[in-house]
Amino acid sequence: MRWSISLFLAVLVTCLPAVTRADPLSYTYVEVAYLSTDLDDVNNSFEGAGVRLSLELTDELYLFGSYADQSADVYSWVYDEVSSFDVQSYAVGLGYAWPVSDVVDVYGQAAYVDGQAEWSGIEVDENGYAVAIGLRGRPSNRFELDTAVSYTDLDDEAQAAVGVAAHWYFTDYLAVGLNVSLSERGQTYGAGLRWAWGRNRDER
């Protein structure tokens, strides 16, 4: 995780001197993405899709939710065959953003998390919580960076992760994005499309 923390700090340094003429941040958006997860103890990647929703309640407070559905073909030594390993997860939570400048926010999040997995007739359902603290900013008018450190606890199984996301707005409201989340168990990569609107983007 040492180089993951270095990546987090690098994005932090990039966001801090963001130009004040850039568009303000919006916490109301919908984003859909293709996801690929590589786990250290599984040979094949988990492929699938995810969606994230965010809704501003006040200038600082926002609700958010996410859902992901991924699967991988994994060999089962019990049945001596390859079967689909299906994983679904969702989270619902509340976030608070502290403005550092007009275009840079420090934010904190807390969420309820539920994860379900099915493989070779075995089903597992776990739930718990996740907390995160991050930095979000606009180094330029069309480019947005987001980095965060998170901690997730599912049925007393804890995991820390570092995430980095970059979005490029090709219109005032539409952006393409790339993101990566790194933990001790593996990595998740994503590529998607975001539609942002709301009070902060309309007040320019």
- Nearest CA to 152 among 110, 186, 123, 188? 110
**What domains are there in the chain, each with its CATH number?**
2-202 (2.40.160.20)
Q: What is the mean pLDDT of the chain?
A: 86
Per-residue pLDDT tens for 41-86? 788 899 999 999 999 999 899 999 999 999 998 877 666 677 788 9
Is residue 134 classed exposed, middle or buried when 0-12, 13-18 and 19+ CB atoms within 10 A define those classes? buried
Strand pairing of 28-39 and 186-197?
antiparallel
pLDDT on residue 78:
61
State how far the alpha carbon of 159 is from the alpha carbons of 27, 72, 97, 118, 149, in Å.
Answer: 26, 21, 24, 21, 11
Q: What is the pTM of this model?
A: 0.83
Residues 6+ apart with CB under 8 A from 172: 23, 201
Q: What is the pLDDT of residues 179-189, one digit of tens each?
A: 999 998 899 99
Alpha-carbon distance of 89 to 70, in angstroms, equals: 9
User: What pLDDT, on a 0 to 100 scale, did the predictor assign at position 23?
Assistant: 59
Between CA 56 and CA 177 the distance in angstroms is 20
> Which residue type occupies 116?
Q
The answer to whether the CB of 69 falls within 8 A of the CB of 90 is no
